[in-house]
Structure 1
Amino acid sequence: MNARALLSKARIVEAAAVVADRGGVGAVSMRSVAAELGVEAMSLYHHVANKSALLDALADWAFDQISAPEVDAPWRSAMVGRARSARSVLVRHPWALGMIEARPRPGTPLLRHFDRVYGCLLNSGFSPELATHMFSALDAYIYGFALTESTLPFAPAEGAENSFAEDVAPSPDEYPHLARALEGLMSGGTYSFADEFDVGLDLLLEGFERRLAQAS
């Protein structure tokens, strides 16, 4: 059986994700995806209408990789699980940062995901307004952290932060506060920037926990 006979929309979108992982979303085209699959570009049009539809489907694919909370789950643990899942997906697929919520036609995965997040928060006593504040703040934090991780000037590895800090160590005379902070962080030899994610997430959720208690 030839490659064209095995084509499906799911296979096409998965190939588009491979192309995007390798060259960014700008590298995704009907031609590049067809080449990834070993078929002619025209074969894709039997399953995907055009490039815009392919990008819509790719955005849906990315959102589908993120774990959505159960609507009857405890809200704080549910938001932690979702945040960690989203960060993991966005670090593995940095191209998704700029497109999963930017497509002009929201797909079913995005709407279903949003519905479950709101369901979890509303069922836990959040007002629509406070739930929206939570959703907005969390996503800004998750996306911002993932973007920072994807642009760090060193590859994630044990001791990478310490090596980098040693290479760019600031002069204590010129930058006394920065030098003091770095010395404190790196003196134990176990600091990892990745650990900051859960620290910041806890601080953020603690703030909303207080707001929820005040509103009750």
Structure 2
Amino acid sequence: MPRPRSPQLSVDAIIRAALSLVDATGDFSFPKVAKELGVSQASLYNHIDNREHIIELMRGLVFSEFSARRHLDPASLPWDEALRTLAHEYRDCLVDHPRLVPLLVTQTVQDLGVMRIYEDMAIVLGKAGLDLSVIVPAITTVDYLVLGSALELTAPDVVWSPPPGEFPALTAAISGLGSPAERSDAAFAFGLATIVAGIREVTKISF
């Protein structure tokens, strides 16, 4: 008589189940992951240490496609083109998982593939002529832009609802603003252009 089939449990299966829950609800828990996989909660601990471990592995999973497909050598492009490419590739990894962003920003980055993104940004910003003392603030500014534009994808269709006849400047500005995806794309493009222009201006200053 064949042995009864049991759910196949692996780190990858656990991480994908947790990510599916985050995509759907914005969070996950060990009981919910276990239920999703049809296993006992205790069995998860044979593969995963704790909640922080799962979050970091989700970070690695989301960015693994980026790491696998990219061939950018930061030294091979003008700094502005390289920075734009990095920012777009970074954002592309998050647009399908915007609800993961609040979890990612709560803990230290450890995944080596993600660390490579920041290493490349540091190289590019140094190539742009930024002083070492402002490279981390510059990287953080790019982070704000990428993470914020991803979060915009979770926003309601109507962000501002001013009363009729009040706040005329805002009312005019938000007329025909578009969907969250359209707003996110427009804000990201504007923000990235602003960052590049700002770096050009800052590098004219003698530190």
* TM-score normalised by structure 1 residue count: 0.71
The amino acid that maps onto 2:197 is: E
Partner of 1:57 in structure 2?
57
How much does 1:215 deviate? 5.0
How much does 1:182 deviate? 4.9
Residue aligned with 2:203, SS: helix
Write the mapping of 1:95-114 to structure 2, written as runs, cut at 5 A: 95-104=99-108, 106-114=110-118
Write the mapping of 1:75-86 to structure 2, written as runs, cut at 5 A: 75-86=79-90
Partner of 1:71 in structure 2?
74
Q: 1:137 aligns with which of 118, 133, 141?
A: 141
Residue aligned with 2:17, SS: helix
Partner of 1:209 in structure 2?
200
* Number of residue pairs the alignment of both structures matches: 195
Q: Larger relative contact order (C-alpha < 8 A, sep ≥ 6)?
A: 2
The amino acid that maps onto 1:42 is: A
Distance 1:107 1:50, change over 3 A: same
Identity value in percent: 24
Write the mapping of 1:22-171 to structure 2, written as runs, cut at 5 A: 22-25=24-27, 28-64=28-64, 70-72=73-75, 73-104=77-108, 106-153=110-157, 171=164
User: Which ranges in structure 2 are unaligned for 5 or more consecutive residues?
Assistant: 177-181
How much does 1:21 deviate? 0.9
Partner of 1:177 in structure 2?
169
The amino acid that maps onto 2:74 is: V
How much does 1:138 deviate? 1.4
How much does 1:140 deviate? 1.4
Separation (CA, whole Å) in 2 of partners of 1:44 and 1:176: 55
* TM-score normalised by structure 2 residue count: 0.73
8 A contact 2:94–2:150 mirrored in 1:
yes
